């Protein structure tokens, strides 16, 4: 090893060490060889070496900190290295060294990954390429397009758009700290999706580093690969660098409301009516429904509250006649409505309504999204859940802490795409999506809390889409298929693949086989090639 690289390697090993006791290293994983390879590659490209973090760095643990603490608490392995690249050449170097030495790469853009597959492993040695420094957002207001690097957050995107115009927007989620990379490439549902579809539906170009380490865009990657990364997940096929999206125009004034009713206040009947109309109302209106345990103000007993949390792309005066016609049972009044700019609805829906817009560019989870132990699951529904099924849900929800069920309506623009137009297949015929969530603060409660959400999931099985039972890829769930061993074969992956992608799974496998036949980019629920080494 050259003298300069010897010095650099030693500096990396000892930098920021709070103790001079040298911990054991995973040398059998190729750790030292990978580090040496990376430094050699960086010297050739004049890259900085202070973007490499080893388990001996004091900042290593903080880089791994994620919104969901559960995966890291259960994972048997930590990454041998974390690389936080500043330049594309450094990503290419990481790919090259990983291929050479047989280490897996996990790619992380935000940290809301439900099962932690971007920063944990079921056992195989791996390195993390953390894209947090790839976070520029470049807006062309005249063309109504933007190039967005995958390490940017939704909050940063929305904040940047608000600096350009009050009427430029993008249809994606409401949590400001979610990373662009995973959210966009897995679908990306949000509060204006009934009018403007998913984030993935609005992607018009992309740049990624493929398994050969080459940078390709839409014109050079081909339409098959471009199709796959718009809903099939980017990390099965390469390291996405940035997406080009078409922006949408929203009114200067939009309207939000949140009306809550308990079971004693006719919530069950309102939920029944909601199931009939939520996917059919004016596509400018998205009526989202949250179910939470509550205490009855009348009896002091455990009950369930239904919150109708909604956004309408227009004024309250325009909204009220629609609600009176479609959902008079809710009894919406003008004083229930708040008119505001679209950008302010992001703060409102995130529980940050008393904060300034600058809060949106803070990557630290706030409001409803504070770090905790969390487990989520999902379903899609084509027919209304009958009263019998809802009553079974109430029994499990009543008296629980830290749990929530969310019904998100479909229809509108979401139904205007065919099932195969993108990998995201849940289109025409889908009434709503269910998201089940449970969070807790004490890691010792993990077993009982995960058992609770599995029981709730089992209760709803007769009332949701089946054969296969559908699920949302962005709400990744390792329970589906119950195989956490780093799936590589088509047959092993078919169970969860069909749940997330239905018939599109077969095409995703063909794309994977063509562009990454050796299965270099993989995790416990990545798309497998037909033949893998």
Above 50 in pLDDT, residue 314? yes
At 363 the pLDDT is 87
The number of CA neighbours under 13 Å toward the Cβ of 164 is 23
Polymer length of the chain = 533
Q: Could you tell me the residue ranges of all domains in the chain?
A: 3-130, 137-249, 254-340+372-475
Do the Cβ atoms of 281 and 431 come closer than 8 Å?
Answer: no
Distance of CA 95 to the CA centre of its chain: 24
Please determine, for residue 1, whether its predicted confidence score (pLDDT) is greater than 70.
no
Measure the CA–CA gap between 470 and 452, rounded to whole angstroms.
Answer: 20
pLDDT, one tens digit per residue, over 9-38 is 433 433 332 322 223 344 445 678 888 898
Q: Is the pLDDT of residue 519 over 80?
A: yes
In this structure, what token pair is assigned to residue 100?
């050479």
| Topology of the domain covering 254-340+372-475 | Vanillyl-alcohol Oxidase; Chain A, domain 3 (3.40.462)
The percent of residues in the chain predicted with pLDDT above 70, rounded, is 91
Question: Which of the four pLDDT bands, split at 50, 70 and 90, describes residue 361?
Answer: very high
C-alpha 154/C-alpha 363 separation (Å) is: 10
pLDDT, tens digit, for every residue of 420-439? 999 999 999 999 999 999 99
Tokens of 427: 């289109």
**How far apart (Å, rounded) are the C-alpha atoms in residues 355 and 346?**
11
Task: Look at residue 506 in the predicted model and tell me its pLDDT.
Answer: 95
Q: What is the mean pLDDT of residues 107-135?
A: 91
The structural architecture, per CATH, of the domain 137-249 is: 2-Layer Sandwich (3.30)
- pTM of the model as a whole: 0.92
Active site residues: 475
Per-residue pLDDT tens over the stretch 128-187: 999 999 999 999 999 999 999 999 999 999 999 999 999 999 999 999 999 999 999 999
Strands 126-130 and 104-108: parallel
Can you name the residues that pair with 305 across neighbouring β-strands? 262, 292
Pick the CATH number of 3-130 from 3.30.1330.40, 3.30.43.10, 3.40.225.10, 3.30.1330.100: 3.30.43.10
User: How far, CA to CA in Å, does 460 sit from each of 88, 393, 454?
Assistant: 46, 8, 10
487 vs 522: CA distance, rounded Å: 8
395, pLDDT greater than 50? yes
Per-residue model confidence (pLDDT) at position 71: 86
């Amino acid at each position: 090893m050259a003298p300069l690289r010897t010095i650099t390697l030693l500096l990396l090993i000892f930098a920021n060490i709070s103790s001079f006791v040298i911990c054991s290293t995973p040398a059998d994983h190729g750790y030292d060889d990978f580090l040496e390879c990376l430094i050699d590659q960086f010297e050739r490209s004049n890259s900085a070496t202070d973007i490499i973090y080893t388990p001996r760095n004091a900042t290593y643990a903080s880089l791994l900190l994620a919104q969901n603490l559960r995966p890291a608490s259960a994972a048997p392995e930590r990454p041998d290295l974390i690389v936080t690249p500043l330049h594309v050449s450094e990503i290419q170097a990481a790919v090259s060294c990983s291929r050479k030495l047989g280490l897996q790469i996990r790619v992380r853009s935000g940290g809301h990954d439900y099962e932690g597959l971007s920063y944990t492993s079921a056992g195989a040695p791996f390195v993390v390429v953390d894209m947090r420094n790839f976070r520029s957002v470049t807006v062309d207001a005249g063309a109504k397009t933007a190039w967005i690097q995958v390490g940017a957050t939704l909050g940063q995107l929305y904040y940047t758009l608000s600096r350009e115009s009050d009427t430029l927007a993008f249809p994606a989620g409401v949590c400001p700290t979610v990373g662009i990379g995973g959210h966009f490439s897995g679908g990306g549902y949000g509060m204006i999706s009934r009018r403007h579809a998913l984030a993935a539906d609005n992607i018009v170009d992309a740049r990624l580093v493929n398994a050969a380490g080459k940078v390709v865009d839409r014109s050079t990657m081909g339409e098959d690969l471009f199709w796959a990364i718009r809903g099939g997940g980017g990390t099965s096929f390469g390291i996405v660098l940035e997406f080009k999206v078409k922006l949408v125009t929203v009114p200067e004034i939009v309207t939000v409301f949140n009306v809550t009713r308990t079971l004693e206040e006719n919530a069950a009947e309102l939920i029944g009516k909601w199931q009939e109309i939520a996917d059919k109302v004016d596509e400018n209106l998205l009526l989202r429904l949250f179910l939470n345990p509550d205490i009855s103000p009348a009896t002091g007993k455990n009950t369930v509250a239904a919150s109708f949390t909604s956004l309408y792309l227009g004024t309250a005066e325009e909204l009220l006649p629609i609600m009176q016609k479609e959902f008079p049972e809710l009894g919406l009044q003008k004083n229930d409505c708040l008119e505001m700019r679209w950008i302010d609805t992001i703060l409102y829906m995130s529980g940050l309504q008393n904060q300034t817009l600058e809060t949106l560019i803070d990557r630290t989870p706030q409001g409803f999204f504070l770090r905790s132990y969390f487990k989520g699951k999902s379903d899609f529904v084509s027919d209304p859940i009958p009263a019998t099924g809802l009553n079974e849900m109430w029994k499990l929800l009543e008296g629980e802490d830290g749990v929530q069920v969310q019904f998100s309506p479909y229809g509108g623009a979401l139904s205007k795409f065919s099932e195969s137009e993108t990998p995201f297949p849940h289109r025409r015929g889908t009434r709503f999506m269910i998201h089940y969530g449970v969070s807790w603060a004490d890691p010792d409660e993990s077993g009982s809390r995960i058992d609770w959400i599995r029981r709730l999931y089992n209760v709803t099985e007769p009332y949701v889409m089946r054969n296969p039972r559908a699920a949302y890829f962005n709400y990744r769930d390792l329970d589906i298929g119950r195989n956490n061993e780093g799936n590589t074969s088509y047959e092993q992956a078919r169970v969860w693949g069909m749940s997330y992608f239905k018939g599109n799974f077969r095409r995703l496998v063909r794309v994977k086989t063509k562009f990454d036949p050796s299965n270099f980019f993989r995790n416990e629920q990545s798309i497998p090639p037909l033949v893998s080494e």
